[in-house]
Amino acid sequence: MELSERVRVGLVGLGRFGKLHAAVLAALPGVELAAVCDPQPDEVAALSARYEGVRGFTDCKEMLNATDLDAVFLVSPEPFHGEQALASLSRGIATFTEI
């Protein structure tokens, strides 16, 4: 990876840990927090407004289809991890799951 390249990251789940992940990811050099997703539209709007250029979604598969991502962090409730991870991995996206 060249120094000018940025890793484009998506984040699924905007609860307490999701918000912590967002803050860390947005502050990392070489990382672009490109998209966030949560079923609560108010949470999506708040995070999208806080971080410039972040696209917001309420559906994980919609986010994966509409955004060119290098990695996805799943910080959603555990019962959703399997389906979300398979959706991400099937698209060739590096996937990290918070458990």
Q: What are the chain's domains?
A: 7-97 (3.40.50.720)
pLDDT for 33: 98
What does the pLDDT profile of the chain (99 residues) look like in tens digits?
455 589 999 999 999 999 999 999 999 999 999 999 999 999 999 999 999 999 999 999 999 999 999 999 999 999 999 999 999 999 999 999 988
* 24 φ/ψ angles, rounded to the nearest 5 degrees: -65, -50
pTM score: 0.92
Q: How far is the C-alpha of 49 from the C-alpha of 51, rounded, in Å?
A: 6
Q: How far is the C-alpha of 57 from the C-alpha of 55, rounded, in Å?
A: 7
